[in-house]
């Protein structure tokens, strides 16, 4: 029986468990790198590193060469391994029906890199910040809820829902606006919810993806214990990255909660009539599928349902959408470590040009990392006066 390409998307096995798969499964068709017949990059790292990650070092690339002993661990090897955004586009385009290589293997090789002491400085700084401060921004824990000071958001004290804001939504200035917008919607809809505030700790999704499994387990255990002590049953997440970790990884550590990404939750509110969008938005809008909501968790309908519920809004799809969406470049820790860079061929700039080419005036997103990546790309492309990046929560909040 064929194995689903996504069955083991959140596996946490060591690299040695993948040796047979790496050696036997790749047929070197290069579909994981270029789309045919368009010949557009599927892999966000392709534009920066070309074919070096695969073709120049053997059939399955540098990882196969390392596992077979042809090359040794080095700083150059580590830097290339961390250029992967873990977006999963390679898995979609792979013609071989197997479930491991290019996601779990990249995570596992990163764990090997850390264990052998070859983690790049950017990765070490990221991990140290999370360990010391509970967030990757090296900001004091006491400032985690500062974004909510001028709002009616309350601390979680047994409300029906916990709103898990996440580190990016708590500290990043652009993402804080999205946190406020979503909270405002929930308040207007009469939802019983609260936030952890200064007691919230990083969800660990990116920590896991850069290969520091021990720290991830520590964060997961800490969050799970906190949730259980507070009696949390239902969780709404701002970020698809938080959604992925809590939904797919936390159960292995005893954390079974009813968790929804906010687009899924708002969809339910509209369907039940608890949330009504009465304002109009007469505009052409295109939507970018976040990798950790779409490819990782197969949620493509909820964001489009929300956009379709807005009177006057006309959704124009980019040529690459849903499962074939092109990554913003922020996944796999790159939002913090920036191994992909922001040059003309940076993933965010490629994607913002694709969005602009639809002739839409607004690029809608559903992820605080995507919002940040595209805001930066917008400025670099000199498109600020012609194009706008908005999270779906911001669009809806303005209309209710």
| 54 belongs to a structural domain | yes
Single out the residue of 109, 118, 12, 11 nearest to residue 60, CA to CA: 109
Q: How many domains does the chain have?
A: 3
Dump pLDDT digits (tens) for 249-281: 999 999 999 999 999 999 999 999 999 999 999
CB 153 within 8 A of CB 187: yes
Instruction: Compare 96 and 120 and report the one with higher pLDDT.
Output: 120
pLDDT tier at 51, thresholds 50, 70, 90: very low
Last residue of a domain, one of 245, 269, 293: 269
Task: Mark whether 316 and 196 lie in a shared domain.
Answer: no
CB 45 within 8 A of CB 331: no
Q: Which helix H or strand E contains 234, and what residues bound it?
A: strand 234-237
d(CA 271, CA 273): 6
| 4 belongs to a structural domain | no
| 341 belongs to a structural domain | yes
Task: Name the pTM for this structure.
Answer: 0.92
| 128 belongs to a structural domain | no
Q: Say yes or no to pLDDT of 39 above 70.
A: no
Q: Say yes or no to pLDDT of 233 above 80.
A: yes
Task: Mark whether 339 and 378 lie in a shared domain.
Answer: yes
pLDDT tier at 2, thresholds 50, 70, 90: very low
Last residue of a domain, one of 59, 93, 119: 119
Task: Mark whether 39 and 157 lie in a shared domain.
Answer: no
Task: Mark whether 263 and 321 lie in a shared domain.
Answer: no
- The arithmetic mean of pLDDT across residues 227-234, rounded, is 97
Residue whose pair of structure tokens reads 């979680």 in the numeric block? 156
Task: Mark whether 294 and 207 lie in a shared domain.
Answer: no
| 264 belongs to a structural domain | yes
- The arithmetic mean of pLDDT across residues 206-210, rounded, is 95
d(CA 84, CA 372): 19
Chain-centroid distance of CA 322 in Å reads 14
pLDDT of residue 384: 86
Last residue of a domain, one of 249, 269, 289: 269
| 390 belongs to a structural domain | yes
| 250 belongs to a structural domain | yes
Dump pLDDT digits (tens) for 315-349: 999 999 999 999 999 999 999 998 887 777 788 99
C-alpha distance from residue 164 to each of 16, 127, 215, 246, 334 (Å) = 35, 21, 19, 10, 22
Averaged pLDDT score across all residues of the chain = 88
Q: Say yes or no to pLDDT of 34 above 90.
A: no
d(CA 184, CA 396): 10
Task: Mark whether 264 and 140 lie in a shared domain.
Answer: yes
d(CA 105, CA 109): 6
**CATH number for the domain including 211?**
3.40.50
pLDDT of residue 316: 97
Dump pLDDT digits (tens) for 288-303: 999 999 999 999 999 9
* Structural domain that includes position 151: 135-269
Query: Could you tell me how many residues make up the chain?
Result: 400
CA dihedral 212, 215, 218, 221 (to 10 degrees): -40
Task: Mark whether 170 and 260 lie in a shared domain.
Answer: yes
Burial of 291 (0-12, 13-18, 19+ CB in 10 A): buried
| 39 belongs to a structural domain | yes
Which DSSP letter does residue 127 get? H
Residue whose pair of structure tokens reads 């009539």 in the numeric block? 273
pLDDT of residue 65: 78
């Amino acid at each position: 029986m064929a194995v689903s390409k996504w069955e083991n998307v959140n596996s946490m096995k060591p690299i040695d468990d993948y040796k047979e798969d790496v050696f036997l499964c790749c047929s070197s068709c290069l579909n994981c790198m270029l789309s045919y017949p368009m010949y557009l990059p599927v892999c966000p790292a392709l534009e920066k590193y070309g074919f070096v990650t695969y073709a120049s070092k053997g059939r399955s690339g540098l990882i196969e060469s390392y596992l077979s002993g042809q090359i040794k661990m080095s700083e150059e090897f580590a830097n290339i391994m961390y250029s992967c955004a873990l977006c999963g586009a390679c898995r979609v385009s792979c013609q071989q029906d197997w479930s491991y290589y290019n996601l779990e293997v990249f995570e596992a090789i990163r764990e090997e890199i850390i264990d052998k002491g070859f983690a790049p400085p950017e990765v070490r700084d990221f991990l140290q910040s999370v360990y010391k401060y509970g967030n990757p921004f090296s900001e004091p824990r006491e400032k985690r809820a500062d974004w909510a000071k001028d709002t009616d958001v309350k601390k979680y004290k047994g409300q029906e829902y916990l709103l898990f804001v996440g580190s990016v939504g708590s500290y990043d200035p652009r993402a804080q606006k999205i946190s406020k917008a979503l909270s405002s919607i929930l308040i207007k809809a009469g939802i019983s919810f609260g936030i952890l505030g200064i007691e919230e700790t990083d969800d660990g999704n990116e920590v896991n993806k850069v290969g520091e499994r021990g720290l991830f387990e520590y964060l997961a255990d800490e969050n799970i214990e906190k949730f259980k002590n507070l009696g949390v049953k239902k969780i709404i997440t701002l970020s698809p990255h938080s959604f992925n970790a809590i939904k797919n990884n936390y159960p292995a550590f005893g954390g079974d909660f009813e968790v929804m990404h906010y687009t899924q939750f708002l969809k339910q509110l509209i369907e039940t009539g608890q949330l009504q969008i009465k304002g109009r938005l007469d505009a052409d809008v295109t939507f970018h599928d976040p990798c950790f909501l779409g490819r990782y968790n197969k949620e493509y309908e909820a964001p489009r349902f929300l956009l379709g519920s807005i009177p006057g809004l006309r959704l124009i799809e980019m040529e690459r959408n849903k499962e074939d969406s092109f990554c913003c470049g922020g996944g796999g820790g790159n939002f913090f470590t920036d191994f992909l860079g922001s040059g003309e061929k940076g993933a965010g700039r490629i994607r913002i040009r694709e969005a602009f080419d639809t002739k839409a005036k607004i690029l809608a997103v559903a992820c605080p990392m995507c919002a940040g990546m595209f805001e930066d790309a917008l400025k670099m492309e000199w498109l600020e006066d012609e194009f706008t990046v908005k999270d779906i929560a911001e669009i809806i909040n303005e209309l209710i």
